[in-house]
Amino acid sequence: MTLARRATALVLAVAATLALAACAPTSPADPQASAPAGGEQQSDPTMPPTCKTILPETLVADFESYGLVPVEEPFSFGDPATTSIPDGVECKWGNADIATDHGVQLFGWAPIDAAGTEKWLTYLTEQGWTRTEGDGLIYLSDPFEGVEGVTYAFADGYVVLADSKEFVQLVSPR
């Protein structure tokens, strides 16, 4: 399969997963809202998060079927040396055999308290990130892409990261 066909297939797989996730309840007060897309079981919240446990099993299987593997790094707001959150994970899913930043999918999850939320909301706002609110979340999106690209979503007790605002819902709140 050519690289172009793989990329197209990946985009279709992610789109299908998003379509399924859109059917799930989104109200934070709804106990079902914390369940990952597709009705899958959440990973054990007492275990450290990994690239394979913060996403729905079906999405992980789709990524792996296209030859994508995760590169696991500390969750950060830029430079991991100065902005990392302990106990969090940031995942870049891509094809290790191809040196590119195209076709890479970005996801992350980290625990965060109220003081940390305030600190990082202030930091990102000062950096020019676009703030929106909805569904019980505070979103900060990368202003440099002209669209709601890379996005952090802050909730009570955790923050998630995805390469677009729409993909935030794929990350399990644990």
Per-residue model confidence as pLDDT tens digits over 36-78: 333 344 556 678 899 999 999 999 999 999 999 999 999 999 8
What's the mean per-residue pLDDT of the chain? 77
**Interval 94-126: pLDDT, tens:** 987 776 665 689 999 999 999 999 999 999 999
- Cα–Cα dist 86/89, whole Å: 9
**Confidence (pLDDT) at 143:** 79
Domain boundaries, the chain: 3-170
User: Which tokens go with 32?
Assistant: 């079902």
- Cα–Cα dist 171/165, whole Å: 11
Note the pTM of the prediction, 2 decimals.
0.73
Q: Which of 149, 168, 146, 148 shows the shortest CA–CA distance to 159?
A: 168
Q: Which of 58, 67, 60, 53 shows the shortest CA–CA distance to 20?
A: 58
Confidence grade of residue 9 (pLDDT, cut at 50, 70, 90): very low
